Amino acid sequence: MVVPTMQSNRRWSLVSSRPDLDLPLTGCMGKASSMALGLALAQPKTRVIVIDGDGSLLMNLGTFVTIGEQAPANLIHVSFDNGVYATTGGQPVPGSHRVDFAAYAKSSGYRSSHQFEHLEDFISSIEDLFSAEGPVFINLKIQEDLDDLSADERMAMPSLVKNYPAMKDLFAS
Amino acid sequence: MSDNAAGLDPRSILKEFKKNKISHLVWLPDSETNFMYQVMTSDKDLTVVPVCREAETIAIAAGLQLGGKRTVVLVQNTGIFESGDSIRGIALDLNLPLLLLIGYRGWVRHGITKDSAAFYTEHFLHSWGIDYYLIESDSDAHLISHALSSAEANSKPVAVLLGREYS
Ligand SMILES: Cc1ncc(C[n+]2csc(CCOP(=O)(O)OP(=O)(O)O)c2C)c(N)n1
Ligand SMILES: [Mg+2]
């Protein structure tokens, strides 16, 4: 199951093969990784992938420590590190050139932590990364790529609020 | 760590959890609920998930609930203020039947509280439309079951305030 948030939300929706299992967190900035943690703890046999934003990570930095402490083997934490708040127009994220997210993850207890600056490197490691025991953190240094969505396009984006009613009994006992 | 000077035994709360098959407690400790720490963390049927900041609790609980685990959140009233956007964007927007157990810092039975944390607590819950119950002693513990049933019947979060007076 995948929990995308912010810009990854739209990117993921373009490629997702099981949108019915996606949990796109549109508001609630910073909490995608926390929701993914809860799901990973509840369903240890389900692989949970969260695709975070750099600004979102900074808003909930303690999440690294909370996840590291629980250390769910089935959790993969990806970050779209574009250096900006792309969703709100591309304003710079504070400290973006100094902050080392992968180091935060590592020192918080993730089983492995990586950063990629080149797509080819990421692609050649992807199988290993996604089959490794978690929690795995993968920081993707990506270029800012602003969306210019109309209000209607924004409203049509997938969202957890829309998906949730159909999902809430997925694992009901 | 566990006293029951205020007439509320942590085992009464644990009993309510068991009755309602609660398996997970997402918790950031506070003085008001410290008396429960030993009992809750040493129970083998209850998994306590500690967090660094209260706003995480609502999202973690939502993930656990979606994953089929019956989950309660336990934070101080100050932590509820910290969690505003998660209460809005997750607990309320998803209509989560989630029990928020809240340490009522500054609560006084008689007189007027001098603590703004207490002063704003009920105003805050009112403004979200979250119903709440007050627990002071063992004889009130059954309100936990009542709160959980009402959360489930109405598909919305509910709060139980733990009032313990300090002299
Ligand atoms: C609590 C809160 N503060 C501010 C906002 C406004 N906001 C929405 S998206 C966003 C930027 C998110 O940045 P990032 O996580 O880096 O994701 P990106 O848009 O770059 O993919 C901000 C500041 C919000 N939604 N919630
Ligand atoms: Mg960003």
Tokens 């429960």 correspond to what residue?
B36
In order of their start, the domains of chain B are: 10-162 (3.40.50.970)
Asked if ipTM goes beyond 0.90, one says yes
For chain A, domain boundaries: 2-167
Whether B46 contacts B25, CB under 8 Å: yes
Confidence of residue B3 (pLDDT cuts 50, 70, 90): very low
- Asked if A170's CB is within 8 angstroms of B89's CB, the reply is no
Q: Could you tell me if B94 lies within 8 Å of chain A, comparing CB atoms?
A: yes
Q: List strand residue ranges (DSSP E) for chain A, in order.
A: 2-4, 48-53, 75-81, 84-85, 91-92, 112-116, 136-141
Neighbours of A20 (CB within 10 A): 9
Q: Is the pLDDT of residue B33 over 90?
A: no
Q: What is the pLDDT of residue B166?
A: 58
Per-residue pLDDT tens digits for B49-86? 999 999 999 999 999 999 999 999 999 999 999 999 99
Q: How far apart are the CA of A159 and the centre of ligand 1, in A?
A: 15
Q: Return the ligand 1 atom nearest residue A53 CA.
A: 15
Q: Is the pLDDT of residue B42 over 60?
A: yes
Q: What is the pLDDT of residue B1?
A: 40
Per-residue pLDDT tens digits for A158-168? 899 999 999 98
How far apart are alpha carbons A111 and A91 in whole angstroms? 32
How far apart are alpha carbons A98 and A109 in whole angstroms? 21
* CATH for A2-167, options being 3.40.50.1100, 3.20.20.10, 3.40.50.970, 3.30.450.30: 3.40.50.970
What percent of the residues of chain A are helix, what percent strand, and what percent coil, each to the nearest 5? 45, 20, 35
Q: What is the pLDDT of residue A63?
A: 98
Q: Could you tell me if A44 lies within 8 Å of chain B, comparing CB atoms?
A: no
Q: What is the pLDDT of residue B140?
A: 96
Helix (H/G/I), strand (E/B), else coil: A79? strand
Per-residue pLDDT tens digits for A117-131? 999 999 999 999 999
pTM: 0.96
